[in-house]
Structure 1
Amino acid sequence: MGTATDFVLAEVRLFRASVDLSQDEFGRQIGYSGSHVSSVETGSRPPTREYMRAIDGHFPTGGRFERMLSELAPLDVDPTWLREWIEFEREASTLRWFEISYVPGLLQTERYARATLAGGRFTADEADRIVTSRLERQTILTRDTPPQLIAVLDEAILRRPVLDEPGLMLQQCEHLADLATQEHVQVHVVPLDAGMYLGLAGQFIIAELPDGTRIAHADNQLTAQIVDAPAGIARLAKTWEIVRNEALPRRQSIKLIKEVAKSWT
């Protein structure tokens, strides 16, 4: 970790000492385990915005720690929560990813990734940087010890036209079907006839780290955040089980993806 992060962690440790609490006691008061507090303070896991917000919410800090994390974050086209998430994504041994709007970023083609940024939200240079970053993130799936990726996506994603670009969705569906045959990648599709189900409330990802701890990313139209508080993780894990049960088995999902691909020819 860099010197800015080291400074933040030192401040967190000094603050805990100033309120005369052990790591276990401090963790109980802000809703985290003592081992989580220890991991943050020793730098083995980065402090998240949610963790800092928990400290600020329980103690009269005036929002000091969340503000400190924001001010020391490097300037980037990506928002702070995404920079935080990428670090967890790289460390994860398992990723459980549910999507209702787009093909999961780790499984996108370059054309599809660029199409998701259309609409005037970004300049050409910003779009190039985001696409480059997204493609770089995908390299975790080709490294010697890749994470196990289990992706569940709504069928509507596969059938939604993107910018009316000829061949774009055909290429994306074929790419998705090809990746889904790899041993460390599972893709499951929630069919349209599933109707309304709990997952429609929003996209989320649960990352399981090598030590067994879990971190999540969740978003909707208004917010996107890193979730590492136990209560939040438990709720998302329950939702994951529900949406996973709504999805087709692996082989049926691949068959459906290939059938949809043919509809784009």
Structure 2
Amino acid sequence: MPPRRVVTGRSQEPRKRFAEELRSLRTENGLSLRQLGHVLGWDSSLFGKMESGQTLGSPEVVQALDDHYGTGPLLLTLWELALADPTQFREQYRRYMALEQEAVSLWHHAVGVLPGLLQTKAYAREVLAAGGIKGAELTQQVEARIGRRDLLAGEDPPQFRTILSETVLRTPLRNSQEWREQLQHLSEAGEQPNMSLQVLPHGPWLHALASTDVMFLRLLDGRTVAYTESALHGELVEASGAVERLQRTYDAIRDLALSPAESRKFIGQMLEEVPCDPST
């Protein structure tokens, strides 16, 4: 039986503590990232991102590491603490968030609210407050949501595509200056090489995703999973048949959306319509 490891004396910040333990265990066992990836069957870049704190990985990956190192539930426990720390995301989102960090590409459709990955702090605060969150919890949730934007930055960010219903862009913030800043942020995001932003104009008919936000995640192992969400419920969809049906619907509405260039022009026109004086 391996000796009991002491979880003190290193970083007390859970995400850093988790990354430190991963790096320490690998080096103590004399493994390179490439060797570890070969042994466990995952791409070595995933373990590199986990050790640098860029991602937490999925519970399956962490369990495999615990099994490989013979550390019992140590890494999985640290992973759970890191996942809960200070992000404060609710339980039903945790599995999705772990997969989001692992994804190599993300495809999204928004019905009425901008995706969290593209929200400014003011937008996130108003949306979360509208959902009944307040006080210290509201501050924590806003910071956590803004922190998630780091996923789309860095040296090797995933590809991100979003199709925004026109309704999203016709529902402004109360403060016109904050709404202007959000639209400006959206316009700049659409110019990033790893991002594709399309606007779905109001049409004369309904479509199958007319009331459903959805995010597709393509993972390192080649699988695609989907996460559907309404105001009260979120569901992770992993069955291949169900994911494929959602993808066909997504493809159909993408054909109806404006091109990325047309969409940037659309957002630019909306910016021109926003009053410059926040008091108006």
- The alignment status of 1:44 with 2:61, answered yes or no, reads yes
CA distance in 2, matches of 1:167, 1:196: 33
CA 120–138 in structure 1, closer or farther in 2 if over 3 Å, else same? closer
- Separation in structure 2 between the aligned mates of residue 80 and residue 219 of structure 1, nearest angstrom: 14
RMSD of aligned residue pairs (Cα, Å): 2.5
| SS class of match (1:118) | helix
In structure 1, what is the equivalent of residue 90 of structure 2?
79
Deviation at 1:123, TM superposition (A): 2.4
Q: Encode CA deviations 1:21-67: one digit per residue, 9 max, x unaligned.
A: xxxxxxxxxxxxxxxxxxxxx92388xxxxxxxxxxxxxxxxxxxxx
Q: Is the 8 A contact 2:88 2:144 kept in 1?
A: no
Q: Check whether the contact 1:198–1:242 (CA below 8 A) recurs between aligned residues.
A: no
| Structure 2: runs of 5 or more not aligned | 1-17, 19-58, 64-82, 276-280
SS at match of 1:116: helix
Matches within 5 A, 1:1-265: 43-44=60-61, 77-119=88-130, 121-162=132-173, 164-193=174-203, 195-265=205-275
Larger mean Cα displacement after TM superposition, 179-188 or 164-173: 164-173
Separation in structure 2 between the aligned mates of residue 120 and residue 85 of structure 1, nearest angstrom: 20
Is 2:89–2:141's contact at 8 Å kept on the other side of the alignment?
yes
Change (3 A) 1:102 1:45: farther
Higher RCO by CA contacts (8 Å cutoff, separation 6 or greater) = 1
Structure 1 gap segments, 5+ residues each: 3-41, 47-72
- Count of residues paired in the alignment: 201
Q: Write the distance in 2 (CA, Å) between the matches of 1:211 and 1:152.
A: 25
Match for residue 5 of structure 1?
none
Q: Is the 8 A contact 1:187 1:250 kept in 2?
A: yes
1:74 is displaced (CA, Å) by 5.9
* 1:78 positional shift: 2.2
Structure 1 residue 159: Cα displacement? 1.4
Aligned identity (percent) is 26
Cα offset for 1:161?
A: 2.6
TM-score normalised to structure 2 length: 0.66
The C-alpha deviation readout for 1:137-168, integer Å capped at 9, x for no partner, is 11011111100000001011111132x21312
Cα distance in 1 for partners of 2:113, 2:211 equals 14
> 1:19 maps to which residue?
none
Residue 222 of structure 1 and its aligned partner are, at CA, apart by 4.1
Amino acid at match of 2:103: A
Show the counterpart of 1:61. Answer: none
After TM superposition, give the deviation of residue 197 of structure 1 in Å. Answer: 2.4
Cα distance in structure 2, aligned partners of 1:130 and 1:100: 21
| Inter-partner Cα distance in structure 2 for 1:209 and 1:45 | 16
Structure 2 residue identity aligned to 1:95: L
